[in-house]
């Protein structure tokens, strides 16, 4: 792995070298290196690109890394990854894709990930997307996430796409059974003519299931963002969606909520706020010696990080 690939790997997965635990590193559409452990088995699919990740029951405080690195143009990479989490297990999965494209051709990565959590299991899932190289080159990322939470299981998802990705379509589907809990935090930044769509469809099937979705986004220049959510309450449940956006220049943000309650005890809430950076915040930082551009960057970074 060369220095460029190492830098991308560090940005998307915080890895400075090949890890010791369970991992699957994909580079330019092919397997680069893979490792399984006694508790976590990573098996390649036989009939299509992708892997099955099988976590044994009662596994605690283990991490799995599945980064994707693309450094060539003209690649259309599609993978199917399925995760099977055993009862009473608690693991962290670090995914994401970095595209460094300096050609005039478009590179695309589409990852279809399915998560199957057994009873009383927990997963923390971190997914980071970055695009680098020529602004004229296409860097497209289209992740699809499917989540199946059994009784008393929990999943926390943190996704970030902080600039450089020219186009993305992010789809998340989930079914929650009794006492299952899902928390999703999305951070999104678009520049120039970038185009980004996020869509969430959550089926709160079980009694006392719950979901919380928080989206923080910043749209600059002539970029376009669209956020759609659909919460379906089929039992006594709780769902909350919060979509906050900062709009700059000639960019555009659209937020489209949908709430569907078929049970009188379902509590479903959607909040959306889109606006510009407050002038008093800029002035306060500029009195500390920052330029207007520096102050704007500080505010944006704090907003995307949830500070």
pLDDT of res. 306: 61
Q: Classify burial at 203, counting beta carbons within 10 Å of its beta carbon; exposed 0-12, middle 13-18, buried 19 or more.
A: buried
| pLDDT (mean) for 217-224 | 93
Coil, helix or strand at residue 242: strand
**pLDDT: which is higher, 191 or 295:** 191
CA trace torsion 79, 16, 4, 31 (10° rounding): -30
For 24, residues 6+ apart whose C-beta sits below 8 A from its C-beta are 31, 34, 35, 42, 51, 53, 65, 66
CA triple 135-139-140, angle to 5 deg = 145
| pLDDT (mean) for 69-93 | 96
Q: Fill in the DSSP letter of residue 17.
A: S
Distance, CA of 81 to CA of 204 (rounded, Å): 24
Assign 95 a pLDDT band (cuts: 50, 70, 90): very high
pLDDT of res. 296: 76
Distance, CA of 217 to CA of 90 (rounded, Å): 29
Coil, helix or strand at residue 137: coil
Assign 182 a pLDDT band (cuts: 50, 70, 90): very high
Helix axes 279-286, 292-304, angle to 10 degrees: 120
| pLDDT (mean) for 121-128 | 97
pLDDT of res. 167: 95
Q: Model confidence over 140-164: pLDDT tens digits?
A: 999 999 999 999 999 999 999 977 8
| pLDDT (mean) for 35-46 | 97
Q: Model confidence over 248-295: pLDDT tens digits?
A: 889 999 999 899 999 999 999 998 888 777 777 777 777 877 887 877
pLDDT of res. 112: 96
Q: Model confidence over 127-145: pLDDT tens digits?
A: 999 999 887 889 999 999 9
Asked whether the predicted pLDDT for residue 72 surpasses 80, the reply is yes
Q: Global pTM?
A: 0.92
């Amino acid at each position: 792995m060369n220095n460029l690939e190492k830098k991308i790997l560090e940005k998307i997965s915080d890895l400075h070298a090949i890890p010791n635990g369970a991992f699957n590193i994909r580079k330019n559409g092919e397997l680069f290196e893979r490792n399984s452990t006694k508790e976590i088995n990573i098996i390649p699919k036989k009939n299509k690109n992708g892997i099955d990740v099988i976590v044994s029951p009662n596994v605690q405080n283990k991490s799995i890394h599945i980064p994707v690195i693309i450094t060539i143009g003209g690649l259309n990479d599609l993978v199917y990854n399925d995760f099977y989490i055993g009862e009473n297990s608690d693991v962290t999965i670090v995914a994401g894709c970095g595209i460094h494209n300096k050609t005039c051709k478009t590179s695309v990565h589409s990852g279809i990930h399915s998560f199957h959590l057994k009873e009383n299991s927990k997963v923390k899932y971190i997914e980071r997307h970055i695009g680098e190289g020529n602004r004229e080159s296409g860097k497209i990322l289209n992740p699809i996430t499917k989540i199946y939470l059994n009784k008393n299981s929990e999943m926390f998802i943190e996704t970030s796409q902080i600039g450089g990705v020219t186009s993305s379509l992010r789809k998340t589907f989930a079914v929650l059974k009794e006492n299952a809990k899902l928390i999703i935090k999305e951070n999104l930044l678009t520049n120039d003519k970038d185009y980004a769509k996020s869509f969430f469809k959550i089926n709160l099937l079980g009694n006392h299931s719950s979901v919380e979705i928080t989206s923080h986004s910043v749209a600059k220049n002539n970029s376009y963002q669209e956020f759609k959510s659909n919460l379906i309450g089929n039992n006594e449940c709780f769902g909350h969606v919060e979509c906050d956006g900062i709009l700059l220049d000639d960019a555009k943000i659209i937020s489209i909520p949908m709430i569907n309650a078929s049970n009188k005890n379902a509590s479903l809430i959607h909040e959306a706020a889109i606006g510009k950076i407050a002038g008093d915040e800029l002035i306060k930082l500029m009195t500390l010696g920052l330029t207007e551009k520096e102050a704007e960057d500080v505010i944006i970074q704090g907003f995307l990080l949830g500070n």
